[in-house]
């Protein structure tokens, strides 16, 4: 079969609008993230109220991320092996998370918080890869980056609304932590109902591969192995939002100040994620990811210079914008290079590798932050981001440009 580059494919019959189902998938992410980000920033305070500290927080997050990462590859492959039936797994994942999360309100010890948080992340592990494959199934090939941009933007907007709702409930109305955690069940339920009744399972085409694709790493094409590895490397450069909030705390900001900064950080990601998807579909996905990673490196170098709250806000907003340039576009590249019958498996590899890498990456960044200071930690992350961008540009991108959308 003749291979084409994305730029050489005919454009006469390309779709110009996304189907409504993509926006419904985005709305599911929005409501689920309202519930998640209403609770997640409160976990350190919940642990403190139970007499636990930083070590317990690290254990909770480490265990939950490990459990989630290991499930992602299985879930993606299972959705392929079932003939491309993605929705049941996605729905099951959201149900598990939204049943588990409110249980934090009745936790009476740190180990109970750890188990509940791990159960919550089980849901994320089950749904992540099949959901991304579902987005590829639903979106027109010419608009895949835009589809992921919509989902990422609405996901980030949910984080904004969740953080602001947390400020209102805790900082203004003075609700106790356990009541706020119980309230998170409401947007969580809305996300489940919306997915169940408004998001369709796309019709399957005749001839779709129904046999389960190979799970082994050698079953992944060489060009995609290169992309997945360099993306795993870039994970060591990513700075979690909680480190931005931690910097606010170090510079004398209050809890409410930190939550507002988190919200503003995600506001930047909302607009940039959507715009990045449009630009990637028009000008090429790699043409956006490579400079996006380089700009992220620059943002980290600038963030290392932050010494007061006003400069923190400027640095955090730029960092949020830089982070959003490539978030959704990375996943759309995978969608372009995966056949219909292997999309779930390939997204499973992506989510598992990124998830596994995030554990040592977070530990390394946290150790540098604590021992050497925020500036050295950010410079370290910026150097890795710049190295990953160079490897992607010179070694990986040329092979990816050989083949167009699947």
**Pick the residue with more confidence: 61 or 365?**
365
Q: How many CB atoms lie within 10 A of CB 156?
A: 29
**Pick the residue with more confidence: 10 or 384?**
384
End-to-end CA distance of the chain: 12
Provide the CATH number for the domain around residue 124: 1.20.1250.20
pLDDT at 53: 57
Question: How open is the CA angle 362-388-391, to the nearest 5 degrees?
Answer: 155
- φ/ψ bin of 51: left (φ > 0), alpha (ψ from -120 to 50), beta (otherwise): left
Closest CA relative to residue 225, chosen from 385, 326, 338 = 338
Residues in the chain: 406
Mean of pLDDT over the chain: 86
DSSP three-state, residue 206: coil
CB 144 within 8 A of CB 335: yes
84 in any annotated domain: yes
Percent of the chain past pLDDT 90, that is, above it, reads 52
Q: What pLDDT digit, counting tens, does each position of 8-28 carry?
A: 333 434 567 999 999 999 999
CB 298 within 8 A of CB 382: yes
pLDDT at 8: 35
208 in any annotated domain: no
Element (H, E) at 97: helix 87-100
* DSSP 8-state code for residue 201: P
- Region of poorest pLDDT, from 160-174, 211-225, 309-323, 371-385: 211-225
Rounded-to-integer distance, Cα 176 and Cα 392, Å? 47
406 in any annotated domain: no
For residue 338, pLDDT over 90 is answered with: no
Q: Which residue has the tokens 């910026």?
A: 382
6 in any annotated domain: no
pLDDT at 357: 84
380 in any annotated domain: yes
Rounded-to-integer distance, Cα 365 and Cα 193, Å? 38
pLDDT at 1: 33
For residue 320, pLDDT over 90 is answered with: yes
Rounded-to-integer distance, Cα 145 and Cα 260, Å? 29
Closest CA relative to residue 169, chosen from 160, 181, 180 = 180
Q: How sure is the predictor about 213, in pLDDT bands with cuts at 50, 70 and 90?
A: low
212 in any annotated domain: no
**Pick the residue with more confidence: 394 or 48?**
394
CB 381 within 8 A of CB 166: no
CB 153 within 8 A of CB 271: yes
- Residue 31 CA neighbour count, 13 Å, CB half: 20
**CB-based contacts of 216, cutoff 8 Å, min separation 6:** none
Q: What pLDDT digit, counting tens, does each position of 76-126 carry?
A: 989 988 888 899 999 999 999 999 999 999 999 888 988 898 889 899 999
**CB-based contacts of 180, cutoff 8 Å, min separation 6:** 38, 39, 42, 166, 169, 170
- Region of poorest pLDDT, from 40-44, 211-215, 281-285, 384-388: 211-215
Domain that holds residue 377: 19-203+219-400
Q: How sure is the predictor about 206, in pLDDT bands with cuts at 50, 70 and 90?
A: very low
211 in any annotated domain: no
pLDDT at 10: 38
Rounded-to-integer distance, Cα 341 and Cα 211, Å? 8
Strands (E), 189-299: none
* Mean pLDDT calculated for residue range 162-180: 87
48 in any annotated domain: yes
* Mean pLDDT calculated for residue range 221-249: 85
* DSSP 8-state code for residue 205: P
pLDDT at 405: 43
Rounded-to-integer distance, Cα 220 and Cα 244, Å? 36
Three-state secondary structure of 292-336:
HHHHHHHHHHHHCCCCCHHHHHHHHHHHHHHHHHHHHHHHHHHHH
- In the chain, the number of structural domains is 1
Q: How sure is the predictor about 404, in pLDDT bands with cuts at 50, 70 and 90?
A: very low
pLDDT at 406: 43
Rounded-to-integer distance, Cα 300 and Cα 90, Å? 34
DSSP three-state, residue 117: helix
Closest CA relative to residue 279, chosen from 237, 351, 329 = 329
Q: What pLDDT digit, counting tens, does each position of 256-272 carry?
A: 787 788 889 989 999 99
């Amino acid at each position: 079969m003749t291979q084409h580059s994305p730029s050489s494919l005919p454009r006469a019959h390309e779709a110009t609008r996304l189907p409504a189902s993509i926006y419904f998938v985005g709305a599911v992410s929005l409501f689920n993230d309202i519930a998640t980000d209403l609770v997640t920033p409160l976990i350190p305070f919940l642990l403190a109220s139970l007499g636990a500290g930083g070590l317990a927080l690290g254990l909770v997050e480490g265990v939950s991320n490990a459990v989630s990462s290991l499930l992602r590859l299985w879930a993606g492959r299972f959705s392929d092996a079932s003939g491309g039936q993605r929705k049941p797994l996605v729905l099951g994942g959201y149900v598990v998370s939204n049943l588990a999360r409110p249980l934090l309100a009745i936790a009476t010890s740190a180990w109970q918080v750890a188990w509940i948080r791990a159960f919550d992340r089980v849901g994320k592990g089950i749904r992540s890869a099949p959901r991304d494959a579902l987005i590829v199934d639903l979106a027109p090939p010419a608009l895949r980056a835009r589809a992921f941009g919509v989902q990422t933007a609405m996901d980030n907007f949910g984080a904004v609304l969740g953080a602001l709702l947390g400020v209102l409930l805790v900082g203004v109305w003075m609700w106790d932590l356990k009541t706020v955690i119980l309230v998170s069940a409401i947007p969580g339920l809305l996300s489940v109902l919306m997915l169940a009744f408004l998001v369709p399972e796309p019709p399957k085409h005749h001839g779709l591969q129904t046999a389960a694709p190979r799970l082994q790493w050698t079953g992944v094409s060489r060009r995609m192995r290169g992309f997945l590895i360099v993306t795993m490397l870039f994970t060591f450069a990513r700075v979690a939002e909680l480190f931005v909030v931690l910097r606010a705390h170090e510079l004398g900001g209050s809890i409410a100040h930190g939550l507002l900064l988190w919200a503003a950080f995600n506001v930047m990601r909302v607009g940039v994620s959507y715009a990045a998807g449009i630009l990637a579909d028009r000008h090429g996905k790699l043409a956006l990811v490579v400079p996006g990673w380089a700009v992220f490196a620059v943002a980290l170098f600038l963030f290392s210079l932050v010494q007061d709250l006003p400069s923190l806000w400027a640095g955090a907003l730029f960092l949020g914008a830089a982070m959003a340039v490539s978030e959704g576009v990375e996943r759309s590249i995978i969608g372009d290079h995966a056949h219909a019958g292997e999309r779930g498996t390939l997204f499973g590899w992506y989510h598992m590798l990124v998830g596994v890498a995030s554990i040592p990456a977070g530990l390394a960044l946290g150790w540098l932050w604590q021992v050497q200071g925020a500036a050295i930690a950010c410079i370290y992350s910026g150097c890795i981001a710049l190295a990953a961008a160079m490897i992607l540009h010179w070694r990986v991108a040329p092979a990816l440009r050989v083949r167009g959308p699947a």
